[in-house]
Structure formats: structure tokens, C-alpha cells
Amino acid sequence: MHEHFEHQADVGVRGTGVTLSQAFEECAVALTEIIVDTRTIMPKKSHLLELNATDNGALLVSFLNELLFIKDKKKMFYSKFRIKLGKENVVDPSGNVKEMVTLKATCFGEKINRNKHALRTDPKAATYSELFAGEKNGTFIAQCVVDV
């Protein structure tokens, strides 16, 4: 399930699921729904994204901002997501080993077509405001506020 939640001048996006991966997927759909009706986006093409961050919250913000970048740069909308979250050790430039959380996402969608895709609004960025990516009361939640 995905939804929007009230926020002063911006829009909150939230995804929930039985796994954190599913919550990330639903949060990505909620982001896309701010922009366009996802029912109008056909899964004609797929794109693989691989990201890492220091924690799940930072990973969520990075993922959503990458989707906004792809929308602007590659002119693509995605309506379906298959996400795998994990962990890996990364050696930083100082030689220290750090555990990072990882995301591998296959995003399904199509090129933006202004005649087909009625645009709602154009978000600027996902933010750290009201950021949460974890489990509460047996449900996984991925949420943040999007600057519109």
C-alpha cells in the first residue's frame, strides 16, 4: 500500500509492506503518483538501479532522488518496482571498512509522453524531513517528505 500524508507546503510519501523492500517499492509508486497517474504508465522498458548508503533512511532518499533525476534526464516514468535490499562491506578511501546498506531495483516503465501522461506536479527532491525506513508494530514503512 502507498499513500500521501499531510505536510505544510510539501507532500509526504509513504509506502508500507510486509518487507522493507516492499515498503520501498510502494514509496516509489507514491512518489510517481505525485507526478502522474501510474495507471497510465506501461511497463515497456526496465532499468536497473544499484545504490548504497550508510542507513535505510539515506538509501530511501537517494533512491527517490535517483528516480526524479531519471525522470528529468532520461524522460522516463516508472510504475512498477522490484527491489532487493541488502548489506555489504565497503572500503572507504582511508582504508576503513564500513557496512553499507544496498539497493538493487528493477524499475519498469516507459518514456514520458505528454499526450498520454497528464502531469500533476513536478517534485524537486526527496528530503530527510519525517524520514523513516524501518519496522513499526509488525509493518515495514518507508516514508519522507518530497519538496514540490
Q: Number of C-alpha atoms within 13 angstroms, CB side, residue 110?
A: 13
Q: What is the average pLDDT across 97-117? A: 96
Count other Cβ atoms within 10 Å, centred on residue 73.
8
Please tell me the distance from the alpha carbon of residue 60 to that of residue 86, in angstroms, as a whole number: 13
pLDDT of 135 > 90? The answer is: yes
CATH number for the domain that contains residue 41: 3.55.10.10
Into how many domains does the chain fold? Answer: 1
The pTM of the full predicted model, rounded to 2 decimals, is: 0.91
Between these two residues, 121 and 90, which has the higher pLDDT value?
121
Is residue 71 within 8 A of residue 112, CB to CB? The reply is yes
% pLDDT > 70, the chain = 95
Cα torsion through 101, 124, 108, 134, rounded to 10: 30
Closest to 128 in 3D by CA, of 75, 66, 56: 56
Domain that holds residue 37: 2-147
pLDDT of 3 > 90? The answer is: no
% pLDDT > 90, the chain = 87
